[in-house]
Amino acid sequence: MPPDFRFAKLCVKGPDQHPLYGELTDAVGEQVDWNFNKFLVDREGKVVRRFGPAVEPLGDEMLSALKDVLA
Protein backbone atom coordinates (compact mmCIF):
# COMPACT_ATOMS: atom_id res chain seq x y z
CA MET A 1 0.00 0.00 0.00
CA PRO A 2 1.47 3.42 -0.94
CA PRO A 3 2.08 5.97 1.82
CA ASP A 4 -0.81 8.31 2.60
CA PHE A 5 0.68 11.81 2.78
CA ARG A 6 -1.52 14.76 3.70
CA PHE A 7 0.35 17.05 1.35
CA ALA A 8 -0.09 18.06 -2.26
CA LYS A 9 2.56 19.00 -4.79
CA LEU A 10 2.74 22.70 -5.62
CA CYS A 11 4.60 24.64 -8.29
CA VAL A 12 7.05 26.92 -6.55
CA LYS A 13 8.24 28.81 -9.63
CA GLY A 14 7.26 29.42 -13.22
CA PRO A 15 3.90 30.25 -14.79
CA ASP A 16 1.96 27.85 -12.53
CA GLN A 17 3.58 29.12 -9.33
CA HIS A 18 1.35 28.80 -6.25
CA PRO A 19 0.29 32.25 -4.95
CA LEU A 20 1.94 31.68 -1.56
CA TYR A 21 5.33 31.14 -3.19
CA GLY A 22 4.73 34.16 -5.38
CA GLU A 23 4.29 36.30 -2.26
CA LEU A 24 7.28 34.75 -0.50
CA THR A 25 9.68 35.10 -3.41
CA ASP A 26 8.49 38.62 -4.25
CA ALA A 27 9.11 39.64 -0.64
CA VAL A 28 12.74 38.51 -0.62
CA GLY A 29 13.49 39.12 -4.29
CA GLU A 30 14.81 35.59 -4.82
CA GLN A 31 13.29 32.52 -6.43
CA VAL A 32 13.18 29.11 -4.81
CA ASP A 33 16.13 27.29 -6.34
CA TRP A 34 15.66 23.78 -4.98
CA ASN A 35 13.80 21.69 -2.40
CA PHE A 36 13.82 22.47 1.30
CA ASN A 37 13.99 26.27 1.14
CA LYS A 38 12.91 27.95 4.33
CA PHE A 39 11.37 31.40 4.79
CA LEU A 40 11.65 33.35 8.03
CA VAL A 41 8.58 35.46 8.79
CA ASP A 42 8.44 37.98 11.64
CA ARG A 43 5.61 38.48 14.14
CA GLU A 44 3.85 40.93 11.84
CA GLY A 45 3.86 38.48 8.94
CA LYS A 46 6.67 40.19 7.02
CA VAL A 47 9.05 37.87 5.19
CA VAL A 48 12.49 38.59 6.60
CA ARG A 49 14.75 36.13 4.83
CA ARG A 50 14.98 33.02 2.69
CA PHE A 51 17.32 30.17 3.55
CA GLY A 52 18.48 27.67 0.96
CA PRO A 53 18.43 23.90 1.30
CA ALA A 54 21.95 23.70 2.76
CA VAL A 55 20.91 25.69 5.86
CA GLU A 56 19.97 23.35 8.69
CA PRO A 57 16.67 24.24 10.41
CA LEU A 58 18.35 24.08 13.83
CA GLY A 59 21.80 25.20 12.67
CA ASP A 60 23.65 28.27 13.90
CA GLU A 61 22.69 30.46 10.92
CA MET A 62 18.98 29.77 11.31
CA LEU A 63 18.96 30.04 15.11
CA SER A 64 20.84 33.33 14.99
CA ALA A 65 18.33 34.77 12.53
CA LEU A 66 15.43 33.54 14.66
CA LYS A 67 16.90 35.17 17.77
CA ASP A 68 17.32 38.46 15.89
CA VAL A 69 13.69 38.42 14.73
CA LEU A 70 12.38 37.57 18.20
CA ALA A 71 14.55 40.15 20.00
Cβ partners under 8 Å of residue 13, min gap 6 = 21, 25, 31, 32
Give me the pLDDT at residue 67, please.
97
Distance CA(54)–CA(35), nearest Å, equals 10
pLDDT digit string (tens) for 11-59?
988 999 999 999 999 999 988 888 899 999 999 999 999 999 999 999 9
How many residues comprise the chain?
71
pTM: 0.79
Chain Cα centroid distance, residue 4: 24
Question: Which amino acid, 14?
Answer: G
Q: Pinpoint the alpha helices (H) of 1-71.
A: 19-28, 60-70
